[in-house]
Chain A
């Protein structure tokens, strides 16, 4: 259930297009099914009417698409952003990847998005979906209507929503909200409390499912290198057939490490993973460590903040102490 409806966003987009403020609109359009909204560019009111959609499946974070879109042609792009997307947008501005002058950010409040993988697991043959605050009613092809509690199919990142406040904004459609309290590090802490053997078992089980499709890299708003190490055949971690060996772990450590301090914890990596690997737990481990070792840091909270890995103090903790620090907590 989203507070702001599709029609309101379409009206806003049309207003900007006809007013000449922007030349195109970046938003979500209907995919093949009702539950796979995909990013789309709209250049006319007609296109908006036909294809634009917004709702409980508008999960894609649109900020990364702005890099290419702002470079294509002159004129402004209007973009719809949920609160967590604005963090990624700020981070990209910090890294000078997007020309702020060419973007018109329209903030959209978010009540939490539904994870279509969770929904597909709960109901087979989804035809149509109706959502209210309590329940999700799924009209299926062969089982009639199936009702599931909304909380049980909400995306993981929305259950642990870190902020409902837009940190970058030109205009807001709907209401303004606040940064929320969340327990997003609980799962990381649970893993940390395990024995090394248990942790190894856990990650071996998760990461050996990786098929190296690189979707986590492609979708990540922080992964914006023009040339990627994973495309380099001599890197030792270029796309290879799954080997159930160290290579997948190496890939995932490096992937998470490359966005350390820049990852806003938007959760896109886990969302797109076709194998349901909880990749956000790797990123969150780094964020948790950064917070504990060098002070609280939220990437993208403000433009121009200095990331922890390109900074230092004279009395930082030694690596050996940093690793053993976990034992004292346990």
Chain B
């Protein structure tokens, strides 16, 4: 049995190389605290995140997945985040339709200068997911170690 009172969520954060990843770096340089449960995966653009990445993260036991990209209008590749925004709107809406708690997924725009926003976002997200408890609906038992 999992100890629910001491539950520490596993969060996967897909961070855009050009903004949020640097934002995370800035948060670190500024000694801003955010939970170590957040595992960052660097992607070249928020648009690189295939919906399947998110589902696979859940399948393999993630409790929450957050995608961080450049603010709309600031994409390094001009328009990647606009496409990502449309895609994620549909995917999250579908997960909601299948009865998955909607607080387990999030898209947040964090620039390279927003170290404080990055830390605050992660703190808030981890808090929300912790409140939801372990991810039961999306994990694949066969992937459990």
Task: Give residues in A with beta carbon < 8 Å to B.
Answer: 188, 191-192, 196-204, 229, 235-237, 243, 245-247, 249-250, 253-254, 256-257, 260, 282, 285-286, 289-290, 293-294, 308-314, 316-320, 322-324, 326
Interface size on B, as a range, is 35 or more
Asked, given contacts A314-B73, A318-B107, whether A253 binds B96 with beta carbons under 8 Å apart, the answer is no
Query: Interface readout for B64-86 with A: 1 if CB under 8 Å, 0 if not?
Result: 00000000110000010011011
Determine if B98 and A253 form an interchain contact, defined as CB atoms under 8 angstroms apart: yes
- Chain B residues contacting A250 (CB-CB under 8 Å) are 52, 55-56, 59, 140
How many Å lie between the Cα of A319 and that of B79 in the bound state? 16
Main secondary structure of the interface of B (DSSP, over half): helix
Determine if A326 and B85 form an interchain contact, defined as CB atoms under 8 angstroms apart: no
Determine if B137 and A192 form an interchain contact, defined as CB atoms under 8 angstroms apart: no
Determine if B59 and A290 form an interchain contact, defined as CB atoms under 8 angstroms apart: no
Asked, given contacts A200-B98, A237-B52, A254-B52, whether A312 binds B59 with beta carbons under 8 Å apart, the answer is no
- Chain A residues contacting B102 (CB-CB under 8 Å) are 196, 323-324
Determine if A245 and B142 form an interchain contact, defined as CB atoms under 8 angstroms apart: yes
Q: Check if B90 is an interface residue, CB within 8 A of chain A.
A: yes
Choice from A192, A198, A318 contacting B85 with Cβ under 8 Å: A318
Main secondary structure of the interface of A (DSSP, over half): helix
Report the 6 A-B pairs with minimum CB-CB distance, sorted nearest first: A200-B99, A199-B99, A312-B82, A322-B89, A319-B88, A319-B89
Choice from A245, A246, A260, A311 contacting B90 with Cβ under 8 Å: A260
- Chain B residues contacting A293 (CB-CB under 8 Å) are 86, 89
- Chain A residues contacting B142 (CB-CB under 8 Å) are 243, 245, 247
Determine if B96 and A326 form an interchain contact, defined as CB atoms under 8 angstroms apart: yes
Determine if B86 and A312 form an interchain contact, defined as CB atoms under 8 angstroms apart: yes
How many Å lie between the Cα of A196 and that of B138 in the bound state? 14
Q: Check if B8 is an interface residue, CB within 8 A of chain A.
A: no
